[in-house]
Amino acid sequence: MQTGPIAPEVLATVEPKSRGQNITRAEERSLEIRAAEDQLFEKHYGVTEDAAHWGDIVFGQKEPPAEWVAEVGKRRAERRLRIANSAWMSAKDAPVGLLLSQRVVSSIVKARSTEKNAPRTLNVAVVQMPEAPQYPTITVKQAK
């Protein structure tokens, strides 16, 4: 369900290994999670994108603009109109779905940007000494 142009770096998918190679269960599970995440992102991105069209209408408008109908069809334009009208409302009165969609989109974008910049592993060798070494003690007298 592609709702609009999505930047490829935002919606980058994980390419599976070639068919001749075996993948581990963890890699397979990771790919499944990524696919589900992609679907969730696209759905909520569509709602967020529709809300961004709030400036194209007058609050309370009943019919979608003709440009929308020509661009995305009557049914999709009516959906966009409902969401754009909701975006005109105050945060207190607006449907919670708008906030939910915005948070889902921003969370996925943030998570994907940090997975490329994961913390680096620091290689440090820790040496433990069971007991401090004992050195002989000598007494030094000051010369007159």
CB 87 within 8 A of CB 54: yes
Closest CA to 85 of 55, 46, 59: 59
Burial class (CB in 10 A: 0-12, 13-18, 19+), 81: buried
- Residue 42 pLDDT: 94
Residue range 24-68, pLDDT digits in tens: 888 889 889 999 999 999 999 999 999 999 989 998 899 999 999
Q: Assign 3-class secondary structure to 77-107.
A: HHHHHHHHHHHCCCCCCCCHHHHHHHHHHHH
Q: What does the radius of gyration of the chain's CA atoms come to, in whole angstroms?
A: 29
More confident residue, 17 or 66: 66
Distances (CA, A) of 122 to 34, 85, 119: 28, 51, 9
pTM of the complete model beyond 0.85: no
Q: What is the pLDDT of residues 98-142, one digit of tens each?
A: 999 999 999 999 988 887 776 667 777 777 778 877 888 888 888
Which tokens is 83 given?
Answer: 């969401």
Mean pLDDT of the chain: 82
Is residue 46 within 8 A of residue 33, CB to CB? The reply is no
pLDDT number for residue 19: 52
In 3D space, the residue among 36, 46, 31 whose CA is nearest the CA of residue 1 turns out to be 46
| Number of other CB atoms surrounding residue 19 within 10 Å | 5
